[in-house]
Structure 1
Amino acid sequence: GNFSLRKYHKPVLVYDIEDDKVRYSLWEEEILERFGLKNVDGWDHTENVAFCPDWMQGEDDDDLDDIDLDDDL
């Protein structure tokens, strides 16, 4: 999906990961501060977690990218 960031003064990405899906929306920072994250309702987009950046997935001990193949002492 395309976002028009110009319509936001201070955009904030709000996302939730459930199984292999990432649901997310962009919110105006002022609205989040006024109403709080607990009142965020609904999601604008859903993506497979495979298409999302690694930082969304948090720290994963089983992540193959972290294995150092040169470290064969």
Structure 2
Amino acid sequence: MISSSCLPGLVWRKSSYSGNNAGDCLEVASGLPGVVPVRDSKSPEGPVLMLSPRAWTGFVAFAAGAQR
């Protein structure tokens, strides 16, 4: 993991399913080839987990299945 401050200029986004109630939300950024940066929305200056696109796709599929 690295700090968000090491990744200036990235545009972070939350899922449209996330509310504004400061719940448990992840934010992702795009623009880094071959990497999907992920961070906790409650800690925007905190650590960033760098996932492969394949790992991110697997996580999203798992999370979508857990919502059913």
* Superposition TM-score, scaled by structure 2 size: 0.32
Which of 1 and 2 has higher RCO (CA within 8 Å, sep 6+)?
2
Q: Give 1 or 2 for the bigger CA radius of gyration.
A: 1
Name the structure where helix makes up a greater proportion of residues: 1
Give me the TM-score of the superposition, normalised by structure 1. Answer: 0.30
